[in-house]
Each structure stands twice: as structure tokens, then as C-alpha cells.
Amino acid sequence: MGLGRVISHAIIGGVLKGVQEAAKENARIQRFDQSRGQVGTVHTLVTCDFALPLHQKASDRMTAKEVQKINELANNANYHGQFLLDHVAEVNEQHLKNYAVAVRKLAIVAMKLCQKYCIYSDIQSVTYDSRRKMIMLNGNDHYSLV
């Protein structure tokens, strides 16, 4: 094999490797964006379906500590969600994980307080399956954080 042919194979191999790496990076970015979108959707649903109705219907019956807790959790989830939007170029998987944890904590506390204050008559239990990253309501899958 001549030197020109060896150089051609090396160039083609380098180009293919670069294309493969770019494809992997693109797939990683797509998975990240999909996960960010899923957590953002859950955040919106939890806020609309549990946190706001709780505030509207039970804030006068809640203890000061419960009001403070739900406000802190809502502010924390909002902070992490906004951080992801404001720093798109710099965010990584840890930032997304922090957002998911903040949304999970908000969801569980808001749902349990809705149960406690009978905002919805059909809430019997609120649990979290950490293996599947699933918030469960009455033993049924309700919100997926992945």
C-alpha cells in the first residue's frame, strides 16, 4: 500500500471518528433536552394541579411552617428551572438532576398537603419509586421524572 493510500485511510478514519463523536454528542444533547422538557412539564403540572389549588383552598388552614415549606420548595424548583433556561450553554446533567430533585420534593409535599387538607377527595397515598423516578398517586404511576 502506498503512502498516499495510507494517508487517505487515516484521513477518512479521522473524519468518520469525528462524525461518530458528533452523532453521539447530538444524541446526548437530544436526551438532555427531552429530559429537561419532561421535568419542566411535571413542574408545570404539579404547580397547576397541586400547589396552586392548595394555596387557593387551604392556605388559611395550613400552619406557618407548611406555608413556608411549600413556598421554599416552589421557589427552589422555579430557580433550578430558570437556571437551566438562562444558562443553556453551560448546564450539565447535575443541573438537570438538581431540577428534577427540586420538582420531586415540591410534588410530594404539595400532593401530601392536598391529601391532608382534602383538596381532592380521592388522594389516598403519595409515594416515590426512586428506581423508576416515578411519583405515584394511590399506588398508580402519576408523574415520571425521566
Structural domains for the chain: 3-144 (1.20.140)
CB-based burial, 68-84: b 16+ in 10 Å, e otherwise:
ebbeebbebbbebbeeb
Give the residue, 103 or 5, on which the prediction is more confident.
103
- pLDDT (0 to 100) of residue 14: 67
- pLDDT (0 to 100) of residue 26: 80
Residue 89's pLDDT band, with cuts at 50, 70 and 90, is: confident
Which stretch of 4-8, 21-25, 80-84, 129-133 has the lowest confidence by average pLDDT?
4-8
**Average pLDDT of the chain to the nearest whole number:** 90
Tens of pLDDT, residues 33-69? 899 999 999 999 999 999 999 999 999 999 999 999 9
Q: What is the pTM of this model?
A: 0.84
Q: Inter-axis angle of helices 3-46 and 64-86, to 10 degrees?
A: 150
Tens of pLDDT, residues 1-32? 555 565 666 666 666 677 777 777 788 788 88
